[in-house]
Homo-oligomer: A and B are copies of this chain.
Amino acid sequence: MMMNFNLSIAAIMRQALMVAADTEIVSLFNDGNVHRYTYAQAFSRARRLANVLDALGCPADARIGTLAWNDHRHFELHYAVPCSGRICHTINPRLFPEQIGYIIRHAEDDLLFVDPQFIPLLESLQAELGSVRHCIVLCAADQVPASSLPGLLSYEALLEAVDDHHDWPELDERRAAGLCYTSGTTGNPKGVLTSHRSTVLHGMAQNMADSVGLRALDVVMPMVPMFHVNAWGMPYNAAMVGAKLVLPGPRVGDAAAMIKLINDEAVSFSLAVPTLWANISQHLDAHAAAVPSLKRAVSGGAACPLALIEAMQRHGVALENGWGMTELNPMGSYNRHQPWYAALAQAPRGQQLLKSGRAMFGVEMRIVDEAQRPLPHDGQASGALQVRGPWVRSGYFGEQTTEGWFDTGDVASIDSKGYMQITDRIKDVIKSGGEWISSVEIENAVMAHPQVAEAAVIGLPHPRWSERPLLVVVARQDHPAPSHEALTAFLEDKIPKWWMPDASAFMQALPHTATGKVSKKTLREHFTDFAWP
């Protein structure tokens, strides 16, 4: 006897128009130019864009690909495409070109909306673009680059040619809204299809006070790109509460530019992978700079070293761990810093800060042993992490769906207060003498060493123990590489004795995947012929 009211991305738009019509969305471009307009103007242009999609004869359930950085036009695509019933397919331009080609073919994208800088990439993929009827370049008519691609259209010219009257259709909440491919290290990428319902529920849960908890007074800057599962929800979740959005474009790796933008726009909350936070932290230190408006930030996408959390704390920023996957739309748990952390002794406080946090309401978590038996939530037992909930994928695009618990591929423990800690990836876990060694925990410990810039621990075959850990280290710039003996001495009181790496190797840089994670698969291949000392 309650209304049959659909959860929809259009409702997020209506809420933002109601509470924040005049609130700003600020975009920084590669050339240093800043674009600013309001939610009211953004959604007016989104309505024009929906008219453009209609005018281009885009089918009702088409996939619309994007190859774009975080800016106002990509924001408009995040609304016009799903709210008109189509599917917004954000493509990661950092993938290998052959993966991008595969993804466009597999998704059968009808249109592609592309930043000018990605035109050369597309030119190299012309053979893969069979389904694509038009490429629309995200710029004004006079900025469309000369190209071997036929018939490039200008986004701005198309928008100018239509008006901004558009009645958004009422859509079933389970209708698909977004498509994002995971870039697994094995096999072809797999598409995760989100729905209006999953997007809205994920956003509501993320905006709960003990989770990410955005407020209207926040100024939100996602440095994580929108092609990483919609910048972890921000284009939708900031609008849901009417917070100002700052979209930093392609220059997220430029710490100086990001610090300037944070200070210019009074950013209070930002999100990025640990590598970017490390850049920013080092830049702040090196230049005695400050980010006084930035109160909280999210680190996600990879394990965050404690040293980085503590460094950001010295800069006045609570760097909070979030955990998620593309398959979760993407966030599953969040470690909102609690006042009681401050009362902990240093060691347990560090442990607590490193945890991936509590399951967001809506996501259910459990850990199981190899026989799928649930393990206790005592903070000790670790097992395969499984999740379920309304924003957990039941299948991949074009494949069968299966309900029930989803295997995340992570190994984790869960404590009695529900705090989850990732200890490893299942495929990276080191099996030594029938027991599991957590590569992540050794990495966390060794990252605190003052001469270590980056570290990875991998399991390599061992005649007696089946596998033993090898520590791979990148020394900090202008520092000598520490010896194996120095490293093991440093680790002595930090990890169990039997976890101690049997050897250390030194590299100039670690191999990374397209999403910025250390590729342990590549590392293991690199050390195929390694001989234990």
Chain A interface residues (CB < 8 Å from chain B): 1-5, 7, 11-12, 14-15, 18-22, 174, 176, 192-195, 197-198, 201, 204-205, 207-210, 213-217, 240-242, 329, 338-340, 358-359, 361-362, 364-365, 377, 388-397, 401, 403, 406, 414, 416-418
Most buried by B among A2, A5, A14, A176: A2
Contacts A7-B362, A209-B215, A209-B241 known; 8 new A-B pairs at CB < 8 A: A1-B397, A2-B194, A2-B195, A3-B389, A19-B358, A201-B204, A207-B209, A240-B361
17 sample A-B contacts, Cβ–Cβ < 8 Å, listed by A number: A1-B192, A1-B194, A1-B397, A2-B390, A2-B393, A2-B394, A3-B393, A7-B390, A12-B361, A15-B361, A18-B365, A19-B417, A20-B417, A207-B209, A209-B209, A209-B241, A210-B215
Report the bound CA distance from A63 to B213 in whole Å. Answer: 37
* Smallest CB gap from A406: residue in B: B3
Contact of A216 among B210, B392, B401, B414 (CB under 8 A): B210
- A389: chain B residues at CB < 8 Å are 3, 5
- A7: chain B residues at CB < 8 Å are 201, 362, 390
Report the bound CA distance from A3 to B15 in whole Å. Answer: 26
* A362 lies within 8 A of B216 (CB): no
Contact of A204 among B19, B208, B393, B417 (CB under 8 A): B208
- A14: chain B residues at CB < 8 Å are 364
* B210 lies within 8 A of A241 (CB): yes
For the complex formed, measure the closest distance between the CB of A43 and the CB atoms of chain B, giving whole angstroms: 15
- A18: chain B residues at CB < 8 Å are 358-359, 364-365, 377, 414, 418
- A416: chain B residues at CB < 8 Å are 21-22
Contact of A197 among B2, B329, B359 (CB under 8 A): B2
* B403 lies within 8 A of A3 (CB): yes
* Smallest CB gap from A18: residue in B: B418
- A392: chain B residues at CB < 8 Å are 2-3, 5
- A401: chain B residues at CB < 8 Å are 1
For the complex formed, measure the closest distance between the CB of A198 and the CB atoms of chain B, giving whole angstroms: 4
- A358: chain B residues at CB < 8 Å are 18-19
Most buried by B among A5, A15, A241, A377: A5
- A388: chain B residues at CB < 8 Å are 3, 5
- A417: chain B residues at CB < 8 Å are 19-20
- A197: chain B residues at CB < 8 Å are 2
* Smallest CB gap from A14: residue in B: B364
For the complex formed, measure the closest distance between the CB of A83 and the CB atoms of chain B, giving whole angstroms: 15
Question: With A210-B241, A241-B210 in contact, is A1–B394 under 8 Å at CB?
Answer: yes
The 5 closest A-B pairs by CB, nearest first: A19-B418, A209-B213, A1-B193, A209-B209, A2-B198
- A194: chain B residues at CB < 8 Å are 1-2
* B214 lies within 8 A of A15 (CB): no
Report the bound CA distance from A18 to B333 in whole Å. Answer: 13
Most buried by B among A11, A18, A406: A18
* B5 lies within 8 A of A396 (CB): no
For the complex formed, measure the closest distance between the CB of A176 and the CB atoms of chain B, giving whole angstroms: 7
* Smallest CB gap from A176: residue in B: B1
* B204 lies within 8 A of A214 (CB): no
* B213 lies within 8 A of A15 (CB): no
- A414: chain B residues at CB < 8 Å are 18
